[in-house]
């Protein structure tokens, strides 16, 4: 195994941890915006419910006024009917009274509908206000927790960045450049284990003689996957020869010779 492989593996672990922390930190602004949008939605619901309730009250007052006006007209027509001199005039006033009473009935029916709708809109308003109050408390707690989590992740990132400096320092410059170029191309991964005859980065076959070279104690050569280009390393033990098998083979050979 190339002597830089363990250091490169440590560096890759640190870099992947740094990348994960940065991804989490980058996600915090969206989480805050989502919380704010939830609160905005609750506030908009209260505004809409309040407007609906106000409209219901306005409609109720309108029909209350209509009822009073039509009742007043009916009363005046009744007063006038006692003073008319002709049958035709009396019939005309009776027609107006009947019409006014019909309008009173319609206005009262509509007024009742509006009152029922008003009670419903008032319940919706109270429900929306309760939901808003709960959302304000919940989101305030969530924002506080997000702030705490963000500070903790930032601290972890600073610690990981501090660990990277001593991890990368012993690695030769040419290997740093190679590592960073490969890692950039493969989303932070520069090394892959060669195991069971395959590159675990892409699954392609690794030639047996390369596997043997990867496990040699003294090996200053880096090997890369011919398919994906990742730097290969192996942790598999090389099978040692069986002495008994070797002795048996030698005995067989000697017996054949004689």
SS3 content of the chain, % helix, strand, coil (to 5): 75, 5, 20
Q: What is the largest CA-CA distance in the chain?
A: 159
C-beta separation of 137 from 39 below 8 A: no
pLDDT digits (tens, 9 = 90+) for 178-209: 999 999 999 999 999 999 899 999 999 999 88
Angle at 176 between CA 170 and CA 179, to 5 degrees: 130
H-helix or E-strand spanning residue 192 = strand 191-195
Residue-wise pLDDT for 4-15, tens only, equals 999 999 999 999
What's the first-to-final CA gap in the chain, in angstroms?
45
- Which are the contacts of 221, defined by CB distance < 8 A and separation ≥ 6? 2, 213
Residue with tokens 């048996």: 248
Q: Decide: helix, strand or coil at residue 233.
A: strand
Q: Are 206 and 194 a contacting pair, CB within 8 Å?
A: yes
Domains of the chain, earliest start first: 16-167 (1.10.287.1490), 173-233 (no CATH)
Render 114-137 in DSSP notation, one character per residue: HHHHHHHHHHHHHHHHHHHHHHHH
Does this model's pTM top 0.85? My answer is no
pLDDT value of residue 143: 93
**What is the pLDDT confidence band of residue 108, given thresholds at 50, 70 and 90?**
confident
Q: How confident is the model at residue 247 (pLDDT cuts 50, 70, 90)?
A: very low
Are 153 and 24 in contact, with CB atoms under 8 Å apart? yes
Please give the structure tokens belonging to residue 142.
Answer: 């969530």
Q: CA torsion angle for 119, 123, 129, 134 (degrees, to 10)?
A: 170
For residues 77 and 74, what is the distance between their CA atoms, to the nearest angstrom? 5
* Nearest by Cα to 6 from 184, 175, 246, 187: 175
């Amino acid at each position: 195994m190339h002597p830089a492989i363990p250091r490169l593996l440590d560096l890759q672990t640190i870099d992947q941890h740094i990348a994960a922390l940065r991804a989490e930190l980058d996600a915090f602004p969206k989480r805050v915006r989502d919380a704010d949008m939830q609160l905005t939605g609750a506030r908009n619901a209260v505004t809409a419910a309040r407007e609906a309730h106000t409209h219901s009250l306005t409609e109720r007052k309108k029909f209350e006024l209509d009822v009073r006006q039509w009742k007043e007209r009916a009363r005046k027509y009744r007063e006038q009917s006692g003073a008319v001199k002709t049958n035709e005039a009396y019939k005309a006033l009776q027609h107006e009274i009947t019409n006014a009473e019909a309008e009173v009935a319609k206005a009262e029916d509509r007024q009742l509908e509006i009152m029922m709708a008003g009670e419903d809109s008032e319940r919706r308003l109270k429900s929306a206000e309760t939901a808003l109050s709960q959302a304000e408390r919940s989101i305030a707690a969530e924002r506080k927790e997000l702030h705490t989590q963000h500070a903790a992740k930032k601290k972890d990132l600073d610690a990981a960045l501090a660990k990277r400096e001593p991890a990368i320092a012993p690695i030769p410059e040419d290997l740093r450049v190679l590592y960073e170029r490969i890692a950039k191309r493969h989303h932070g991964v520069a090394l892959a284990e060669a195991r069971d005859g395959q590159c675990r980065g892409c699954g392609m076959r690794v030639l047996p003689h390369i596997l043997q070279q990867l496990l040699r104690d003294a090996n200053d050569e880096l090997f890369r996957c011919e398919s994906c280009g990742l730097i290969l390393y192996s942790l598999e033990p090389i099978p040692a020869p069986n002495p008994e098998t070797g002795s048996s083979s030698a005995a067989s050979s000697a017996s054949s010779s004689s």
